[in-house]
Amino acid sequence: MSTLRKDLKQNLAFESQEQETLLNLMRTTGFLAGPFDRIFKQRGLSAPLYNVLRILRGQKGEGLACSLIGERMVTRVPDVTRLVDKLIKLDLASRERSATDRRVVLISITPAGLALLADMDGPTSDMHHEALGHMSARELKDLNRLLVKARQTHRGDRS
């Protein structure tokens, strides 16, 4: 009996290796995300809000349109504008019109947003090590390669 079947207390075999693998990936994602979600929740954030802040910090002071933020998200969210609105309400991001094209609205991280991320850098880095530090560099490289390969059938959607 597979370890996943034991974990799920499932007596029947999976329909296919693909099904077992996908369910295993989903279970692992949920398991690994839990501690990060607690870090985010302690600071009034969700994983998508944290992701937007990290994207904005990577702009090094330059604003970014909502559509481009959406393209860079780790996981898809249906309404980036709603996330941005929440960050603005929390004074973690700001919105302004582009000087070169008044139709474009640019989103930037605020000093408060930068300070919050700086406060979170240590705990999130520690959590990365805690979550996957038991794996060798080679295993992590192989896992990353396989995950990229698994997404290849969805390249039209997003890589």
pLDDT per residue over 85-113, tens digit each?
999 999 999 999 878 888 888 999 999 99
Residue 153 included in any domain: no
Residue 154 included in any domain: no
Residue-wise pLDDT tens digits, 59-84:
998 999 999 999 999 988 889 999 99
Residue 53 included in any domain: yes
Euclidean distance between CA atoms 99 and 138, whole angstroms: 47
Residue 42 included in any domain: yes
Per DSSP, 135 falls in state S
Q: How many domains does the chain have?
A: 1
Residue 7 included in any domain: no
Read off the pLDDT of each residue in 135-142 and give the average, rounded to a whole number.
Answer: 97
Instruction: Return the pLDDT at 159.
Output: 46
Residue 111 included in any domain: yes
CATH of the domain at 107: 1.10.10.10
Query: Which domain, by its residues, includes 69?
Result: 34-115
Residue 61 included in any domain: yes
Euclidean distance between CA atoms 98 and 89, whole angstroms: 20
Euclidean distance between CA atoms 100 and 114, whole angstroms: 26
> Among all chains, which residue has been given the structure tokens 């969805």?
154
Residue 124 included in any domain: no
Banded pLDDT at 6 (limits 50, 70, 90): confident
> Among all chains, which residue has been given the structure tokens 């794996």?
135
Residue-wise pLDDT tens digits, 17-33:
999 899 999 999 999 99
